[in-house]
Amino acid sequence: MRELASITDKERKLIADGWYPHVPKMEMDVTLMQFMTNGLAECSAPLASYALNRVGEWLDGSERFHGDGTFKADWREQGGDKTCTLSRKSDSATWDVSWSRHEYLAGARAITISRIDQFGERIEIATGEITTKLPGSGNRLGLTNFLGFASSPVLGTVDGHARAGGFTDLCAFSDVVRGSIPDKLLNVNKKQAVTVAHVSHLKSLEKILEADGGLPGRLCAARQMMATADVTRIAGDWMQGQYPRLIEGLRDRGAEWGKGILNYNDMDFYCCLVDFSDGSIGLFSDNIATVADEHAYVARLVMDGDVVTSVAVHVFRKGDNDYQGKIEAIGDGSALPDFVYDYERQTPSFPGGRYGWYGMSMFLWQSLSDCTYGFTHGEIDEEDARYWLGTPEVGGPPNKA
């Protein structure tokens, strides 16, 4: 993880002194795993919320930004929504900052930062709700303003988060724009920038923000990767002990690719084993209930006897309708993994870029949804799982025999 390569001991201490997701020291169980993975998911949210607010104020605050020696700024508006496209003059690298109707909250507004890749694809890296004074505004984390547990949000503050795999991109964007943002916009009371859910955490991260120059940068990116490494190490150790029972349980019930599949967790998930010719074992999973474009994957387990030594997660992309072809490509090595966890080195890697982060999230989350894919302590949960003969079909249940 290159973000950690240049971090000094002094900088590590600076990171450790700020808020950090809880990493349990006791014996792991499903509940602790849930707290830990939730903490990782929210680890960057205070910093992302702050960056979204500050960038929004810079571009469209008291004065609208129309470019400088570093950036060309193009504005477009339609139906109450607006977008500023920032193009760096030195190399034409491009980002969009958009204000629009919130995707899920009626009447709410959102701000989103996206990068434009070399193919012209718009990839969201962070997004957040711009709060109003209305009850419930800026309440993504469920704090109850009207019951007195949280004060009313300050108008215009942001309750946001980074997209999966997007926080490093957000830090890179912040590094690029920092020199164009007036200092007075980078030194504000945090209550004026983020909602109450994030204020206390952000206050404890002020020294890291200051060291990064007022916006999330190198140290904030390193902090995120340190947290990711800690969580995947502990989660990986716990999950390593779950694999033998899971494999045995699926095998005993004939849940193997091309033969049968297990349908569980309110009938939303399908899973089975995939046996590869080199002796590795894959865990196929398909979540048909999600609205995400990516909903299926194979986690390939490299084994040394009965011990898993590494996990390589292959995410099925949108439009990957040939599941059998994908399985064969994984087996012959022509399909590269998106997320890898190496047990010997105790490190995660993300060769698939943002798809690697999708793969990590899907794999960890499913292992919590039912800690052993429809089994409890090695026994099938008869109330929540059932066995279907057949093979998986895209977007629906497998065929019944």
Place of tokens 């009371």: 189
pTM of the predicted model as reported, rounded to 2 decimal places:
0.86
SS3 7: coil
Instruction: Show pLDDT as tens, one digit a residue, over the chain (401 residues).
Output: 565 667 888 999 999 888 888 777 767 777 787 788 888 888 999 999 999 999 999 999 889 999 999 999 999 999 889 999 999 999 999 999 999 988 777 778 899 999 999 899 999 999 999 987 665 566 555 444 444 445 556 778 899 999 989 999 999 999 999 999 999 998 878 888 888 778 888 999 999 999 999 999 999 999 999 999 998 988 888 888 888 878 888 888 788 898 888 877 666 778 889 999 998 999 998 887 777 778 889 999 988 888 889 999 999 988 887 888 999 999 999 999 999 999 998 889 999 999 999 999 888 876 665 444 555 555 555 555 455 444 455 444 444 33
Angle at 16 between CA 344 and CA 22, to 5 degrees: 70
Beta strands in 71-207 (DSSP E): 71-78, 81-88, 94-101, 109-116, 122-130, 158-162
Partner residues linked to 281 by β-bridges: 275, 301
Determine which helix (DSSP H) or strand (DSSP E) holds 389, and give its type and residue range.
strand 385-389
Measured distance CA(400)–CA(390) in Å, rounded: 6
Sheet containing 71-78: give its strands across.
71-78, 81-88, 94-101, 109-116, 122-130, 158-162
